[in-house]
Structure 1
Amino acid sequence: MTAFPSPVNIQWPDEWRIPFVFSSPHSGRNYPADFIQSSMLTFGKLRQSEDFLVDELFASAPLCGAPLLCATFPRAYCDANREAFELDPLMYSTPLPDYALTASPRLASGIGTIPRVVGAGQEIYAGKLDFREAQKRIHECYFPYHHALRQLLEEGVRKFGFIYLLDCHSMPATACGEGRGKSGLRGARPDIILGNRYGTSCGAPLFNNILTRLENLGYRIGLNTPYAGGFITAHYGRPDHNIHALQIEINRGLYMDQHRLAPTDGFPRLKNNISRFIDGLGAEYSSLLTA
Structure 2
Amino acid sequence: MNGSPDPYRLVPGAPDSPVILHVPHSSRVVPAGVREGIVLDDAALERELDHITDSHTARIAAEAAALAANGPGRKEPWRFVNGLSRLVVDPERFPDEREEMRAVGMGAVYTRTTHGKPLRPDGHPEEPLIDRYFHPYAAAMTGAVARRLAATGRAVIIDVHSYPGERLPYELHGDGPRPPVCLGHDSFHTAPDLLAHAEKAFAGFGGTGVNSPFSGTYVPLKYYGTDRRVGALMIEIRRDVYMTEPGGPAGPGLHRVAAALAELVDAVTGAPPT
Task: Indicate yes or no: 2:101 matched with 1:106.
Answer: yes
In the alignment, which residue of structure 2 is the partner of 1:128? 122
Distance across 2 between alignment mates of 1:45 and 1:249: 21
| Deviation of 1:39 (Å) | 2.5
Distance across 1 between alignment mates of 2:20 and 2:242: 23
Aligned pair partner of 1:52 in 47, 50, 55: 55
In structure 2, the CA distance between the partners of 1:272 and 1:242, relative to structure 1 (3 Å rule), is closer
In structure 2, the CA distance between the partners of 1:33 and 1:4, relative to structure 1 (3 Å rule), is same
Distance across 2 between alignment mates of 1:219 and 1:229: 22
In the alignment, which residue of structure 2 is the partner of 1:72? 83
Aligned residues with identical type, % of pairs? 21
* SS in structure 2 of the partner of residue 248 of structure 1: strand
In the alignment, which residue of structure 2 is the partner of 1:211? 199
Aligned pair partner of 1:266 in 240, 250, 253: 253
In the alignment, which residue of structure 1 is the partner of 2:45? 43
Distance across 2 between alignment mates of 1:234 and 1:67: 16
Would you say how many aligned residue pairs link Structure 1 and Structure 2? 251
Aligned pair partner of 2:239 in 252, 255, 259: 252
Within 5 A, what are the aligned runs for 1:152-171? 152-171=144-163
- The two structures have a TM-score, normalised by structure 1, of 0.76
Structure number, greater radius of gyration: 1
- The two structures have a TM-score, normalised by structure 2, of 0.80
Distance across 2 between alignment mates of 1:212 and 1:155: 29
Distance across 1 between alignment mates of 2:3 and 2:200: 44
Distance across 2 between alignment mates of 1:40 and 1:218: 37
| Deviation of 1:31 (Å) | 1.4
Within 5 A, what are the aligned runs for 1:167-186? 167-175=159-167, 176-178=175-177
In structure 2, the CA distance between the partners of 1:61 and 1:267, relative to structure 1 (3 Å rule), is closer
Which amino acid in 1 is paired with 2:6?
S
Structure 2's unaligned 5+ residue stretches are 69-75, 168-174
CA root-mean-square deviation = 2.6
Aligned pair partner of 1:115 in 110, 119, 122: 110
Distance across 2 between alignment mates of 1:11 and 1:242: 22
Can you list the C-alpha shifts for 1:154-193, whole angstroms capped at 9, x where unaligned? 1111111111111121111125433xxxxxxxxxx30111
| Deviation of 1:4 (Å) | 6.0
